[in-house]
């Protein structure tokens, strides 16, 4: 069926390797290619051969394809004996570079290890091992490239049920995940920055976008001496949205028009459906506290424009005073919290750097969890995030 010459041309492993035999198993739909070594350097001689090994290769039509070889051990001039590495695979792996590259490409498309294993007709463990190895390889290459990040985002992501979080360090402009560590404690955040950036690189960071979690704020202050803290707009608006919803839930008991109005109040006005638009108009006309809360959010969003720090401080003070005069306790509480973190809030109002990209990543990571049906081990969760969203150089250099 398949000839030695056919695979000799396809594989092209070089002058020192030759296809000597091809065995086809029609029952298992498998083809085994047996490769032998022929030394081209006259000053080296074969000492002996290692036991036969088998590597999974790319399929040949409907046939699973395997490369078989007894790797030779050569005796060098100094008397030392070394095993000749296979040119088609990593010395410790049982799959070829081309098979590994195909798994990486398919996994990037499916984002599902189980589905990738089924499509590649291999075990889940093989796909999982390739993902971990590619992530480790990509992270090593990134360290060697000495890339400098001047703008960072530090955000949290739930890992498992309960208060079990991971801290994610990323770049707000590119959306590239730099590193992920388990927990969101001060110690975990210190480890995150220490493992990702050298002391010199930390001094080059100009902005760090974070929410108001105290551990994030402290580690940013301690580890990034030249960085301005920016409390990203996404989280600021999120706090105001939560206040609006609390007011709605408080008032809905006495005002029937607030029933089923949650999304009409929380969505951007331009994104409302026609039914939500009618509901929203009725709420605005009812002169309720939830309308005051909604207006406070819109006024704050309008204040986030390109301004000087002095102008932003004045505008914030006016906004805060208006909130206090409104008497809506839920929004007043948020305004006081903003006032307690004023420098970061002012920076959020005047800078274009924020966690919007980090929040999009947060959504993508959540989708990743859903597709993978959760991750039991943090190491697997970290590898998956960096594999899919680290923008790493994942492929083996020998793949072609």
Of the three residues 94, 117, 140, the one that is the final residue of a domain is 94
CA distance 169 to 209: 10
Residue 16 is assigned to a structural domain of this protein: yes
43 or 219, which is more confident: 219
Residues 6+ apart with CB under 8 A from 42: none
300 is in which domain, residue-wise?
233-350
Decide: 234 and 271 in contact? Cβ < 8 Å.
no
Q: Retrieve residue 205's tokens.
A: 């960071």
Q: Where are the alpha helices (DSSP H) in 18-82?
A: none
pLDDT band at 366 (very low <50, low <70, confident <90, very high): confident
Query: What is the number of residues in the chain?
Result: 400
Say how many Å lie between the first and final Cα of the chain, rounded. 26
Residue 62 is assigned to a structural domain of this protein: yes
Residue 355 is assigned to a structural domain of this protein: no
Q: What is the pLDDT of residues 44-71, one digit of tens each?
A: 778 888 899 999 999 999 999 999 999 9
Given a cut of 50, is residue 197 above it in pLDDT?
yes
**Strand (E) or helix (H) holding 19:** strand 17-25
Given a cut of 90, is residue 122 above it in pLDDT?
yes
Q: Retrieve residue 69's tokens.
A: 């070889």
pLDDT band at 386 (very low <50, low <70, confident <90, very high): very high
Given a cut of 50, is residue 146 above it in pLDDT?
yes
Residues 6+ apart with CB under 8 A from 301: 237
Residue 373 is assigned to a structural domain of this protein: no
Q: What is the mean pLDDT of residues 156-170?
A: 84
Q: What is the pLDDT of residue 400?
A: 47
Q: What is the pLDDT of residue 219?
A: 94
Decide: 131 and 110 in contact? Cβ < 8 Å.
no
- Count other C-beta atoms under 10 Å from residue 227's C-beta: 20
Beta strands in 43-184 (DSSP E): 45-49, 53-60, 63-69, 72-75, 81-83, 151-160, 164-170, 177-182
Q: Please name which of 125, 216, 129 lies closest in space to residue 168, comparing C-alpha atoms.
A: 216
Q: Please name which of 291, 294, 264 lies closest in space to residue 276, comparing C-alpha atoms.
A: 264
Q: Is 238 helix (H, G, I), strand (E, B) or coil?
A: helix
Phi, psi for 308 (deg, rounded to 5): -80, 160
Q: Retrieve residue 90's tokens.
A: 């990593």
Q: Provide the mean pLDDT of the chain.
A: 87
Between the ranges 20-24, 156-160, 208-212, 303-307, where is the mean pLDDT highest? 20-24
Q: Please name which of 95, 35, 24 lies closest in space to residue 61, comparing C-alpha atoms.
A: 24
pLDDT band at 156 (very low <50, low <70, confident <90, very high): confident
Residue 289 is assigned to a structural domain of this protein: yes
pTM over 0.85: no
CA distance 77 to 81: 9
pLDDT band at 158 (very low <50, low <70, confident <90, very high): confident
CA distance 323 to 332: 6
Q: What is the pLDDT of residues 259-293, one digit of tens each?
A: 777 777 777 777 677 777 777 777 777 778 888 89
Residue 129 is assigned to a structural domain of this protein: no
Q: What is the mean pLDDT of residues 129-136?
A: 96
- Greatest alpha-carbon pair distance for the chain in Å reads 95
Q: What is the pLDDT of residue 357?
A: 63
Q: What is the pLDDT of residue 9?
A: 82
Residue 50 is assigned to a structural domain of this protein: yes
Q: In total, how many domains does the chain have?
A: 2
Of the three residues 59, 94, 129, the one that is the final residue of a domain is 94
CA distance 173 to 196: 18
């Amino acid at each position: 069926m398949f000839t030695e010459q056919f695979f000799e041309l396809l594989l092209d492993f070089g002058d020192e390797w030759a296809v000597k035999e091809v065995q086809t198993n029609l029952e298992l739909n498998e083809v085994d290619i047996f490769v032998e070594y022929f030394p081209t350097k006259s000053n080296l001689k074969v000492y002996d051969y290692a036991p036969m090994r088998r590597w999974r290769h790319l399929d040949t039509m409907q046939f699973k394809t395997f490369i078989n070889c007894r790797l030779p051990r050569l005796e060098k001039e100094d008397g030392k004996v070394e095993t000749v590495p296979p040119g088609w695979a990593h010395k410790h792996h049982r799959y070829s570079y081309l098979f590994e590259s195909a798994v990486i490409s398919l996994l990037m498309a499916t984002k599902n290890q189980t589905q990738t294993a089924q499509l590649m007709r291999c075990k889940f463990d093989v796909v999982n091992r390739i993902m971990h190895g590619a992530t480790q390889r990509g992270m090593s290459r990134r360290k060697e490239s000495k890339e400098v990040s001047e703008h960072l985002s530090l955000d949290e992501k739930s890992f498992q049920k309960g208060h079990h979080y991971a801290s994610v360090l990323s770049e707000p402009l590119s959306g590239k995940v730099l590193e992920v560590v388990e927990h969101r404690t001060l110690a975990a955040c210190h480890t995150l920055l220490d493992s990702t950036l050298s002391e010199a690189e930390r001094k080059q960071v100009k902005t760090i976008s974070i929410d108001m979690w105290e551990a994030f704020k402290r580690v940013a202050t301690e580890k990034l001496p030249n960085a301005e803290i920016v409390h990203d707009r996404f989280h600021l608006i999120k706090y105001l949205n939560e206040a609006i919803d609390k007011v709605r839930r408080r008032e809905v008991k006495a005002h029937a028009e607030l029933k089923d109005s949650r999304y009409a109040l929380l969505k951007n006005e331009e994104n409302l459906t026609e039914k939500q638009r009618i509901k929203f108009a009725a709420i605005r006309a009812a002169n309720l506290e939830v309308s005051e809360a909604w207006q406070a959010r819109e006024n704050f969003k309008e204040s986030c424009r390109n301004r000087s720090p002095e102008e932003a401080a004045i505008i914030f003070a006016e906004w805060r005073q208006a909130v206090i005069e409104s008497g809506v306790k839920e929004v007043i509480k948020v305004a006081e919290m903003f006032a307690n973190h004023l420098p970061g809030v002012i920076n959020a109002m005047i800078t274009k750097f924020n966690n919007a990209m980090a929040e999009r990543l947060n959504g993508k990571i959540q989708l990743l969890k859903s597709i993978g049906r959760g991750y039991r081990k943090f190491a697997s969760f970290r590898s998956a995030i960096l594999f899919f969203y680290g923008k790493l150089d994942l492929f083996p250099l020998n793949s072609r």
